[in-house]
């Protein structure tokens, strides 16, 4: 398998209501964002609800990019999008915690 760049982001919500409202926002906004990222080298964009034993309310976003150049181009789009996203939905996401993890995958066991 050729190496791909992986970006994994967790999004932790303070309560069920905020998570549900954010989920509705993501259904619209992430489709539009993915349309911008694909031509720049994004291969896959998965978002899922994570069930944590601690009872945390979390989503996880898993993105694959064809190479480091594609990741860097897409990262610029993510940063631009974050600014406009904050303007539109800042109040909703005031107590949401976002953690991003980056890495390179060299093995695929599927």
3-state secondary structure of 74: helix
Rg of the chain in Å (alpha carbons): 15
Four-way CATH pick for 4-105: 3.40.50.1370, 3.40.50.12780, 3.30.70.100, 2.60.120.620: 3.30.70.100
Quote the pTM value.
0.80
d(CA 45, CA 109) in angstroms, rounded, equals 19
33-56 pLDDT tens trace: 999 999 999 999 998 888 877 888
Tens of each residue's pLDDT in the chain, 110 residues: 567 888 888 899 999 999 999 999 988 888 899 999 999 999 999 988 888 778 889 998 889 999 889 999 999 998 888 888 888 898 988 899 988 887 766 666 77
User: What residue segments make up the domains of the chain, in order of their start?
Assistant: 4-105
Helix (H) or strand (E) holding 8: strand 4-13
């Amino acid at each position: 398998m050729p190496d791909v760049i992986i970006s994994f982001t967790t999004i932790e919500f303070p309560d069920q209501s905020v998570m549900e409202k954010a989920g509705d926002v993501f259904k619209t906004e992430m489709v539009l964002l993915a349309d911008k990222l694909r031509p720049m080298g994004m291969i896959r964009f998965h978002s899922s609800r994570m069930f944590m034993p601690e009872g945390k309310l979390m989503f996880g976003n898993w993105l694959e990019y064809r190479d480091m150049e594609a990741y860097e181009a897409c990262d610029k789009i993510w940063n631009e999008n974050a600014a406009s996203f904050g303007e539109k939905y800042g109040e909703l996401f005031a107590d949401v915690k976002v953690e991003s993890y980056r890495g390179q995958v060299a093995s695929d066991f599927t």
